[in-house]
Amino acid sequence: MLSDDQLQDLNRPLLDEHQFRYQYLRDLLARRHVDAQDVVQQLNAFQVAIPSWALGTGGTRFGRFSGGGEPRSLEEKIDDVALLNQLNGSSNSISLHIPWDIPQDVPALQQQLKARGLTIDSMNSNTFQDQPGQSVSYKFGSLSHTDAAVRQLAVEHNIECVRYGQQLGAGVHTVWLADGSNFPGQQHLRRAYQRTAESLASIYEAMPSDMTMLIEYKPYEPNFYSMVIPDWGTSYSLCQYLGKQAQVLVDLGHHLPNTNIEQIVGRLRHFGRLGGFHFNGSMYGDDDLTTGSTKPFQLFLIFNELVDAAQDDTVNQEAAVAYMIDASHNTKDPLEDLLQSVESILGAYAKALLVDRAALHEAQENNDVVRAEEILRDAFLTDVRPLVAESYRQSGGALQPVAVYRAARVRESLIQQRGKLSLSTGL
Ligand code: AOS
Ligand code: ZN
Ligand code: ZN
Ligand code: ZN
């Protein structure tokens, strides 16, 4: 992490321009009866979790090109997230993956998290790979497998994750299943679903009453004929089967092209089953690009649904939504990428908060198509970067996190400490 003095020194040359831009936007919003500080306060409160597996350089099945200085241990991953959170004040938690992040010394880890002001938001199980020495294989599935012994192993692994989560204070256990089939006829589609539901029930029963199970869907990959949980309807039905503590997780990259994701978000919110997000950017599929890099309007429309639901008395406000990033790729410095992602998310949220909701509802009631669309466009086209920067400033962070990260030469010093070729488990 940077020292406070260092951070202030790096902010100083940026401050004058920031104040000018923020003042201008504040005046502009005041004319529309929007209080900029209200919006900034909501941004200050907003947190998005960082996945431990995105801190190292990602790769594809063709290759991986590390930029060096990657975290070599869970402790170093936590240090990296602490740095991100210092810069943007908006990423105060981390998602862990078992067995990649098995804690060696739980009390020491708890202490480190506390000292850094961080928490663990979600534990993620891994039944998509065989671990060395594993008694049976996940080659043909895990929770859905035809062989009860494989299902049992996968259930036990998930329960192990739940136990780690309890020790570390994680409120969420996330299940993403790679299970499916590659060819017609390979798998009995209904039975695979039924076996999965039963396996999930065994995990669900082992969860404490204050933990949420998130069920993530994905239409294809690694299986290309069928996935056992391909879509939100399947996730939703599993949640209905399991009970109140099960919720649907929406990964933005897990839809077929042109799916209306914001509508899915609205529906799940309506049903009280929206449990969380894996944010990322997508052109074609599960590309795991930087959030907001390719479809910023879609990201805004998703937040528009969230803000609308949050302000609606008829919507059940009980269930918490876990905001998490799930992205990692091969051509950027992972920490810069994550700073960019968080910034896009905050920007989309800020824009959604600017929507004149009363006017929008009126336009909708009157079927005034153009007016309704213009209201959304007006919010979307507002340059909200000064609001996001002001939120960084009020959280004691960097006015421009990526610029400050570069000016502080963080990557260079990480390479010095950790070496050029450190290994990490990035997907
Ligand atoms: C896989 O495609 C899913 O997005 C998972 O959420 C995630 O990427 C995985 O659990 C990380 O290993
Ligand atoms: Zn995901
Ligand atoms: Zn994915
Ligand atoms: Zn992914």
Asked if 71 and 79 count as a contact pair (C-beta separation under 8 A), the reply is: yes
Strands (E), 134-286: 172-176, 180-181, 212-216, 226-227, 246-251, 274-279
CA 216 – ligand 3 centroid, Å: 9
Burial of 286 (0-12, 13-18, 19+ CB in 10 A): buried
How far is 241 from 235, CA to CA, in rounded Å? 10
Q: Is the pLDDT of residue 307 over 60?
A: yes
* 169-178, 232-241, 321-330: least confident range: 321-330
Token pair 């798998």 is found at 187
417, β-bridge pairs: none
Q: How far apart are CA 356 and CA 179, in angstroms?
A: 44
pLDDT of 7-62, one tens digit each? 999 999 999 999 999 999 999 999 999 999 999 999 999 999 999 999 998 888 88
Give the nearest ligand 1 atom to 326 CA.
Answer: 8
> What was the pLDDT predicted at 63?
87
Q: How far is the CA of 124 from the centre of ligand 1 (A)?
A: 8
Which CA distances in Å does 179 have to 143, 173, 219, 319, 412?
A: 8, 18, 11, 28, 40
Distance 195 CA to ligand 3 centre (A): 23
Residues 6+ apart with CB under 8 A from 208: 162, 166
Residue 427, pLDDT above cutoff 80: no
Phi-psi region of 419 (alpha: psi -120 to 50; beta: other; left: phi over 0): left
What is the distance between the terminal CA atoms of the chain, rounded to a whole angstrom?
A: 25
Q: Which of 61-65, 100-104, 410-414 has the lowest mean pLDDT?
A: 61-65
The per-residue pLDDT for range 211-241, each reduced to its tens digit, is 999 999 999 999 999 999 999 999 999 999 9
Beta strand 119-124 with 180-181 is unpaired
Please indicate whether residue 319 or residue 150 has the higher confidence score (pLDDT): 150
Distance of CA 113 to the CA centre of its chain: 19
Query: How large is the average pLDDT for residues 254-274?
Result: 97
Residue 124 CA: which ligand is closest? Answer: 1
Residue type, 386: P
Does ligand 1 lie within 6 Å of residue 286's CB atom?
yes
Provide the whole-model pTM. Answer: 0.97
pLDDT at 426: 45
Rounded CA-CA distance 240/317 in Å is 18
Ligand 1 atom 7: residue of nearest CA? 326
Q: Give distance in angstroms: CA of 51 to centre of ligand 2.
A: 10
Q: Cα-Cα-Cα-Cα dihedral of 107, 108, 112, 118, to 10°? A: -30
pLDDT at 422: 63
Among 52, 221, 223, 251, name the best residue to mutate to test ligand 1's pocket (greatest count of ligand atoms within 8 A of Cβ). Answer: 251
Kindly report the protein residue whose alpha carbon is nearest to atom 2 of ligand 1.
Answer: 286
Gyration radius of the chain's alpha carbons: 22
What percentage of the chain reaches a pLDDT higher than 90? 94
**pLDDT at position 234:** 98
**pLDDT number for residue 66:** 86
Task: Judge if the beta carbon of residue 97 lies within 6 A of ligand 1.
Answer: yes
Q: Tell me the pLDDT band of 67, cut-offs 50, 70 and 90.
A: confident
Ligand number nearest CA of 60 is 4
pLDDT at 309: 97
Is the confidence at residue 164, as pLDDT, over 50? yes
- Specify whether the CB–CB gap between 55 and 70 falls below 8 A: yes
Model pLDDT, residue 271: 96
Is the CB of 116 within 6 Å of ligand 1? Answer: no
Mean pLDDT of 157-186: 98
Ligand 1 atom with the shortest distance to the CA of 221: 2
Q: What is the pLDDT of residue 425?
A: 52
**Which residue puts its alpha carbon closest to atom 3 of ligand 1?**
176
ipTM of the prediction: 0.95
Ligand 1 within 6 A of 203 CB?
Answer: no
Query: In the predicted model, is pLDDT for residue 328 greater than 60?
Result: yes
Q: Is residue 427 lining ligand 1, measured as CB closer than 6 Å?
A: yes
* Residue 318 pLDDT: 86
Ligand 4 (ion): residues with CB under 5 Å are 286, 288
Q: Is the pLDDT of residue 329 over 80?
A: no
From the CB of 326, is ligand 1 less than 6 Å away? yes
User: Is the pLDDT at 406 greater than 50, yes or no?
Assistant: yes
Which of 98, 216, 277 most suits a substitution to test ligand 1, by most atoms within 8 Å of the C-beta?
A: 216
Helix, strand, coil content of the chain in percent (nearest 5)? 50, 10, 40
